[in-house]
Amino acid sequence: MSGEPLFVGIDAGTTGVTVALFDRRGLMVASGDRDYPCIFPQPGWVEQDMDVVWRALCEASRQAMAGIDPGRIVSVGLSSQRGTFALLDEQFRPLAPAIVWNDARAKDMEAMIAANISPARFRSLTGMPIAASWAVAKIAWLAAHRPRLLDATRWICNGQEYLLRLLGAERFEGDPSSLTLNGMLDIHRLGWSDEVCKAAGIDLAKLPPLGAPGAAVGVISKQAAALTGLPAGTALCRGAGDQQCAALGAGVVRQGMAEITIGTSAMMVAHLDHPDLAVGEQTYIGAHAIPGKWDLEGGCFAVGACLQWWRDQFEGPASGYEQMMAEAAKAPVGSQGLVFHPFFAGQITPHYDATARGAFLGLTLKHARADLIRAMLEGFACEIRLMVDAFDADLKSGITDLRLTGGGTRSSLFAQTIADVLDRPVRLLRERECSVLGAALLGAVGSAHFASIEEAAAEMVCATHSLEPNIEHRVVLDNLYGLFRESYSALAGVDFYRQLELMRQ
C-alpha cells in the first residue's frame, strides 16, 4: 500500500447517495454525490427504483475515486436508509419499486395489527408504538392489496442487503441497527419478532437472517469494481442503519449523548446502555450500531423534503438552498405571525399521526416570500422541539450533550434557529455528513484497522463548537412553539386530517 490508508463510506439515502473517502483522523479526502428521485404514484405514496439507486451509487463512487491511488483503500462500509424495503425474486431482482420509509399508505393497517396484538404487547416487544409509518404496516398492506406480488416475493429486504450483494457481499444478511423503522425487531433479543410478524401476516421465511453491524461480509467483487472504481478485493463491511451511522459519525457512543441529523428528515438518536433507561412512550427504541447497545429514536419525516418541495415548485431546480436561506434571513424572527406545519409525510414523534398534513397558518396580504421561507425553518425547528421534548420526558438519564449533524446544518441561519427554538446549546461537528463518516468508521473497525468502535470514534470524530440560543428571541419563539403545538392538536382533535384524506379518495 502506498500513501496513508483511506476508508470508504457509502451513504445511500432517500434522495441521493454520497461516497466519501476518509483518513484515520476522520478528514474527508474525496467524495462523490448523485441525486435520484422518489416516485409518487398516489397522494401519500412514496416509492423508489432500487436500480436507479445502484447506478447513482456507482457514478458517485467513480467520482470519489477519481485521481485516488486504489492501493490506499482499506475498507468499504455502507449506510442506507431504514424502513425502505424492496421485494426481490429468487435471483435477487426487484419485483417492484421499493416502498420508502415516509410512504403513508398503510394507516388502515394499524387497526388490523392492533386486533391481532395489543398495542402494549407490540411496544414491549419492539420498543415502538403501532404506526402506519413502519414497514410492518406497509407489508401488511401489500398482503391485503397486492397479494400476488407478495406471493411472488422471495425476499423482503432493506436497501442495505440489496446494495451489499451488488457490491460483492458473500452473505445475504441484515443487521438489527437497520431494522428499527421496520417495526418487526424484537428489541430485547435483537432479532425478528415471530409474534409481531404473525400478527401482521408476514412470512418470516421471506426475511433475511441477521448479522452484526459493522461486520465484514466479503470483498468488492470484480464486477462491482468495474462499475464503481473501488479496488476489487477490498474488505466490504455491513455498516449499519443510516441514523445509527450518523450517531457514530457524531461520536454518540455513551449514555447522555444524542444527535439530530438534519437531512430529508430530522432524525434524533440518543445512546442507550439498556432499554430500561427509556421510561416513556413518546419515542421508540432501536438497536445501536455498537453491538449489544441500543438507542432511543424519534423522527420528523419531511424537514428537508419540504424545502426541496418549495424549491422545485416555486424556485426552480437551478436555484440553490443558499439563495433560499438568504431570502429567509430578510424576514423577522417569528415570520410576522406565520406558523408552518411541516407534516407533508405525517407527524411522527411524539404523535405518530400518519394522516397529519402540512400547512401555512396565519397568512395575510402583508406576508412576503421571505416570511414564508423563514416560517418553514421555524416550523421545522418547532417539530424538532416536539421531538426533543419527548426525549427529555422519556429518557431516564437525560441528555447532557446534544449535537446537530447533516447537510441542513450547513445553513448557519437554520442551525441557529434550531438552537433558539430549542432554547438549549447544541454542538456542531467538523464533519457534517456524519452518516457517511459513520459508515467509513464501521468499515475501519470491521477491517480491524481499529480495535473498537469507541477507539475509532475517538480518533475520527471531532466536535468543533457550540451554538448558544439567542435569549432575545426566546419570548417570540416560545409563543410560536405554543401556537404550533396547539394548532396541531386542535386540527387533529376535530378529525380534520382524516376528513382531508377522505376528500382525496
Q: What is the DSSP string of 23-48?
A: -TT--EEEEEEEE---B-SSTT--EE
Cβ contacts of 224 within 8 Å, gap of 6 or more: 166, 167, 168, 230, 232
Evaluate whether 202 touches 236 at the Cβ level (below 8 Å): no
User: How many of the other CB atoms lie within 10 Å of CB of 17?
Assistant: 26
pLDDT of residue 102: 87
| Whole-prediction pTM | 0.88
Phi, psi of 418 (to 5 degrees): -65, -45
Contacts of 460 (CB under 8 A, 6+ apart): 22, 24, 25, 26, 437, 440, 441, 444
pLDDT in tens, the chain (505 residues): 458 999 999 999 988 999 999 999 999 999 999 999 999 999 889 999 999 999 999 999 999 999 999 999 999 999 989 999 999 999 999 999 999 998 989 999 999 999 999 999 999 999 888 999 899 999 999 999 999 999 999 999 999 999 999 999 998 999 999 988 899 999 999 999 999 999 999 999 999 999 989 899 999 999 999 999 999 999 999 989 999 999 999 999 999 999 999 988 899 999 999 999 999 889 999 999 999 899 999 999 899 899 999 999 999 777 889 999 999 999 999 999 999 999 998 999 999 998 999 999 999 999 999 999 999 999 999 999 999 999 999 999 889 999 999 889 999 999 999 999 999 999 999 998 899 999 999 999 999 999 999 999 999 999 999 999 999 999 999 999 999 999 999 999 999 998 998 887 6
- Cell of residue 258, nine digits: 444524542
What integer pLDDT is reported at residue 323 of this predicted model?
94
DSSP class of residue 205 equals G
Q: Which of 170, 177, 135 minimizes the C-alpha distance to 156?
A: 135
Cβ proximity of 346 and 355 under 8 Å? yes
What is the rounded distance in angstroms from the CA atom of residue 494 to the CA atom of residue 241?
37
Residue 1 has a pLDDT of: 45
Q: Is the peptide bond before 350 cis (omega within 30 degrees of 0)?
A: yes
Tell me, what's the pLDDT at 424?
A: 97
